[in-house]
Amino acid sequence: MSKHVFRALAMGMVAMGVVMGAAFPLFVLGFGVPKSTAFSPTFIIATLVAGLVVGGLNFALASRIVRPRLRQLSSRMQQVRAAMQKATFSGDWTACNPAVCRLHEQDEDELGAVAQSYNALLHALHDAHMVEARIRDFTQTVSSKLDLHELGDQALGLLQANAHAQGGAIVLERQGEWTVLASRGLSHPEKLVENKVYFNAKDEAVQTRITLPPGVTVDAILSHFVPSDVLLTPIKNHGFVLGWVILASATPFADDVPRLMPLLMQGLGLALNNALLHDDLQRVAALDPLTGVYNRRFGFKRLEEELTRASRDHSSLSVLLLDLDHFKRVNDTYGHLSGDKVLIRTAHVCREILREGDVLMRYGGEEFVVVLPGASIQDARDVAERIRFAISQSQINLGDQLLQVTSSIGVAATSGQKAIAAEELIALADERLYKAKATGRNKVVS
């Protein structure tokens, strides 16, 4: 391209020199030069030669000043193009860094403006690549997580880093209820699901930005600073809103943050959908299909986890082994469907009495195991007595009659000072359960 430009420039300069040389004899007549001298062959040839020389000198001067700058611009463009072609397949974009490929043009003429435009384009390309890289890295990271809470914590950390936000949270909608999946920097994150200020846009499912005047605070305020800018971005998957990301900053967000967040939400929405499906499958695999409590396999896993925690923290842990009295007689007399009703009612009674952190599992048949983290043997006995009494007072409607059953419970505990295997603890509770049955049933033995 440069050669064609300068070829045209050279021809133009020479043509201009010839025209000036040809017109010069007419020009000198006005200064009193005799006509015979002005139109003599020698004078005309001299003026043409002078015009050619001036044209050539002008071309040489322009070529010396302009050509190197144009060649540098062309070379840089070729360098960037080659680097981009290579980076497309290698993933290494260091050769396209503006610090490496930019033009150091200080002049304020037209070529300086061209260089500035080139540098601006280079920065725009670099910024576009950096945004693409951030989206790709974020998507790859979150898509590798299937554990719902691990995904939420990892995603929130990355989102805060990308937005330079000091605090934030991810809230999720499951079965019509809003819950906080992850939060950082919040003193009362649970208030997010109660505060209409944050979710007045949830029906529209569009990004909302709340700029707060200095000195104004909101509920669920960040504990380390007063936010001045809050950004709410919906998390969608196939058009359905899965939840929201709330980010807050003590200073206004950069202009690119509101544009970047929806792009990151595309990967987060897909990852969250996969994690929710995985969580549902895990929950189904962990539950007894009849009673809805943990099955034996998963319940034992939870017992082992709690035993490990109790041993590490030197805290107590108790287990109850519960067996329904004369359950075979219930099945034989009223049928297995009635027996199922008794099991479902027993699980419901236990859940009503137990704390949120306690573990209830169906051990097999009509036997249930209750794990009570932090409970002493006396605490466990009190809980067992409440369960035993509640079961004995519970009535199961079998249509034309009411059925009441009783239970026997064996209690065992570990103080946390000495490690004990789950099987040993269950075996100890089983011995006491056998004693309860052998001494009259409908009682607790610890």
Query: Can you give the three-state secondary structure of the chain, one letter per residue?
Result: CHHHHHHHHHHHHHHHHHHHHHHHHHHHHCCCCCHHHHCCHHHHHHHHHHHHHHHHHHHHHHHHHHHHHHHHHHHHHHHHHHHHHHHHHHCCCHHHCHHHHCCCCCCCCHHHHHHHHHHHHHHHHHHHHHHHHHHHHHHHHHHCCCCHHHHHHHHHHHHHHHHCCCEEEEEEEECCEEEEEEEECECCHHHHHCCHHHHCCCCCCCCEEEECCCCCCCCCCECCCCCCEEEEEEEEECCEEEEEEEEEECCCCCCCHHHHHHHHHHHHHHHHHHHHHHHHHHHHHHECCCCCCECHHHHHHHHHHHHHHHHHHCCCEEEEEEEECCHHHHHHHHCHHHHHHHHHHHHHHHHHHCCCCCEEEEEECCEEEEEEECCCHHHHHHHHHHHHHHHHHCCEECCCCEECCCEEEEEEEECCCCCCCHHHHHHHHHHHHHHHHHCCCCCEEC
Between CA 346 and CA 238 the distance in angstroms is: 41
Return the residue matching tokens 């079998």.
Answer: 398
Tens digits of per-residue pLDDT, 113-132? 777 777 777 777 777 777 77
Among the ranges 91-105, 190-204, 293-307, which has the highest mean pLDDT value? 293-307
For 261, phi then psi, to 5°, come to: -55, -50
The pLDDT score that the predictor gives to residue 278 is 83
Domains delineated in the chain: 2-130 (no CATH), 158-281 (3.30.450.40), 296-445 (3.30.70.270)
Question: Which pair of structure tokens corresponds to residue 226?
Answer: 């007063």
pLDDT at 326 over 90: yes
Q: In which band, very low, low, confident or very high, does the pLDDT at 219 lie, cut at 50, 70 and 90?
A: very low
Mean pLDDT computed over 385-389: 96
- Taking residues 401-427, report their average pLDDT: 88
- Is it the case that residue 221 has pLDDT exceeding 60? no
Encoded tokens for 98: 């503006």
Residues 144, 154: Cα–Cα separation, whole Å: 11
Length of the chain: 446
Euclidean distance between the first and the last CA atom of the chain, given in angstroms as a whole number: 95
CA distances from 102 to 65, 80, 95, 127, 128 (A): 20, 10, 11, 14, 16
pLDDT in tens, 235-278: 988 888 888 898 988 888 988 889 999 999 999 999 998 988 88
Contact predicate 227/218, CB 8 Å: yes
Q: What is the mean pLDDT of residues 307-335?
A: 91
Could you tell me the pLDDT band of residue 224, with boundaries at 50, 70 and 90? low
pLDDT tops 70 at residue 220? no
Across residues 356-364, what is the average pLDDT?
A: 91
Average pLDDT of 181-188? 82
Separation CA 391–CA 388 (nearest Å) = 5
Give the pLDDT band (50/70/90) at residue 324. very high
Quote the pLDDT of residue 124.
Answer: 76
CB 377 within 8 A of CB 413: yes
140 or 282, greater pLDDT: 140
* CA distance linking residue 296 with residue 227, whole number of Å: 48
What is the arithmetic mean of pLDDT over 373-384?
A: 94
Q: What is the CA radius of gyration of the chain?
A: 41
45, burial (CB in 10 Å: exposed 0-12, middle 13-18, buried 19+): exposed
341 burial type by CB count under 10 A (0-12 exposed, 13-18 middle, 19+ buried): middle
Residue with the larger pLDDT of the pair 153 and 80: 153
- So what's the pLDDT on residue 6? 58
Mean per-residue pLDDT of the chain: 81
pLDDT at 401 over 70: yes
- Mean of pLDDT values over 374-381: 93
- Highest mean pLDDT pick, 54-58, 204-208, 344-348: 344-348
Predicted confidence at residue 106, as pLDDT, reads 61
pTM (2 decimals)?
0.58
- High-pLDDT (> 90) share of the chain, %: 28
pLDDT recorded at residue 68? 75
Distance (Å, whole) CA 23 – CA 363: 114
